[in-house]
Amino acid sequence: MEVSVSYIYGVNSKSGRQQLWEEMRVLAADHVVATKPWALLGDFNQILNPQEKSNGGTRISRGGIQDFRDCVSFVGLFDLSIRGNMFTWWNNQEETPIAKKLDRILINDKWLLQFPFSYGHFGEPDFSDHSPACIAIGDRVALKKQFMISHFLLEHSDFIPRVKKFWEETIIQGTVMFSLSKKLKLLKPVIKDINRRHFSGPGNRVKEAHSSLLECQQNLLSNPSIAMAAREKHAHKTWLELALAEEKFLHQRSRVQSVECGDCNTAYFHRKVASRRAGNQIHYLLDNTDQRLDDLEEVKAHCVDYFSDLFGVASTTLTDSDKAKISLFIKYRCSDSIKKELMSVVTQEDVKNEVFALSTNKTPGPDGYTGEFLRKTWDIIGEDFTRAVLEFFEPGQTLKQWNCTVISLIPKRIGADKLDLLRNMETSDTNRGADVYSWGQAPNASHAFSTKQTWDLLRPSQPD
């Protein structure tokens, strides 16, 4: 694999930087560079965002930042995911120290698609006033692929009949909640079979269907006939179905909310998916002594220990739960109408309204079934789902698997490499890969640390 790498040394003058921006535009138009993965790294002597200055704000100056932004946008470059130091230079003034991000690593789409797990690292300046930069290609860690419902399956003509047949023929003994959970779990192989039969390898199947369509169109134009016309129509329908399925798949994985399906902008979605994946990797972690942990097993043990201490230790401080004392600090503000509403019986309509209010791409639990799936199959599973929810309000107890969640690790800043620099957020989002740091897929933690001290608690982001 051939790549293009440009090493940058930006001069400390506006005219010199303007020349650099022009050289970058020329290089981007060169066939040798444009057709290969391209990385530019070094001292650009210019920040790209106001926040890249320790005393910066939000104002964008036309003279520097905007010119750099225009160049990067025109050339089609963006920052490689980085670890290490955010700021890469400081002014060496003790009285008024200022740090900036003058050094960076820019890449093009081809680099990101070819090396999706690569990242940059900015170390300590040592004898220089700039942080040294290096690129690590990174390796994908093979983990078990977790179940996640793909929305394009919901539109296939075979989907609803197969789900309905399975649901009507499957009988599970036990409580309503247990029966629903078990049936949803057993439904997963059926959904996987539909995907395997009709959509396995979507990228290759789209290309094959398109080639078949072009061949049919050529034969039709060369020798028009009723049979050829029918073949062309069938080939066009097959290609369109697969192309739309691929687009919906990429749209769902990319989590782009501002673009609706129908644009067929799969290249854009490919980049968003790859960009999310690159930024959400845990390539390494630093422990409490700043020892670097590169090995997957070491990272697992470190995460388990950290969250076990955080969530698994019982509190030794007893609190007084006397209502009279609590009322001295908290005023009861519920009106009679609110109290009546809080004590009202939950109805079937209430359950349905809550389900249909779920976000399209989020799930009410970590099982991989989204709100869109529940809405599409409500006529089939709605009755069982409603009965299971209402069952909870009778004894006030729930199944363990229903009380399950995951803790997603979201970086508080760019280059976060310690667990205390990762914000912990409970989520059931099946596509949390956009927001969650991950090792291969995403090590997440469940709540049961007081009883288990194993890596099983650090579940991948798309639950099984």
Question: What tens digit of pLDDT does each residue of 227-271 get?
Answer: 889 988 988 888 877 777 666 666 556 555 545 544 555 565 556
| pLDDT score, position 248 | 67
The CA distances from residue 34 to 8, 25, 107, in Å, are 18, 11, 11
Measured CA to CA, the distance from residue 376 to residue 372 in angstroms comes to 6
Question: What tens digit of pLDDT does each residue of 155-185 get?
Answer: 888 899 999 999 999 999 989 999 999 999 9
The DSSP annotation for 274-343 comes to HHHHHHTB---EE-TT--EE-SHHHHHHHHHHHHHHHHSSPP-------HHHHHHHS-----HHHHHHHT
Instruction: Give percent of the chain with pLDDT exceeding 90.
Output: 26
Question: What tens digit of pLDDT does each residue of 216-239 get?
Answer: 888 888 888 998 899 889 888 888
Measured CA to CA, the distance from residue 3 to residue 80 in angstroms comes to 15
Question: What tens digit of pLDDT does each residue of 27-76 get?
Answer: 999 988 889 999 999 999 999 888 888 887 655 555 688 899 999 999 98
Q: What is the fold, at CATH topology level, of the domain defined by 4-136?
A: Deoxyribonuclease I; Chain A (3.60.10)
Name the phi and psi angles at 422, rounded to 5.
-110, 125
Mean of pLDDT values over 83-111 = 89
Q: What is the chain's alpha carbon radius of gyration, rounded to the nearest angstrom?
A: 27
Question: What tens digit of pLDDT does each residue of 182-212 get?
Answer: 999 999 999 989 888 877 666 677 778 888 8
Please report, as a single letter, which amino acid is at residue 158.
Answer: D
Domain range list for the chain: 4-136, 151-279, 285-314+403-459, 323-393
The DSSP annotation for 55-91 comes to T--S---IIIIIHHHHHHHHHT-EEPPEEE-S--EE-
| pLDDT score, position 282 | 74
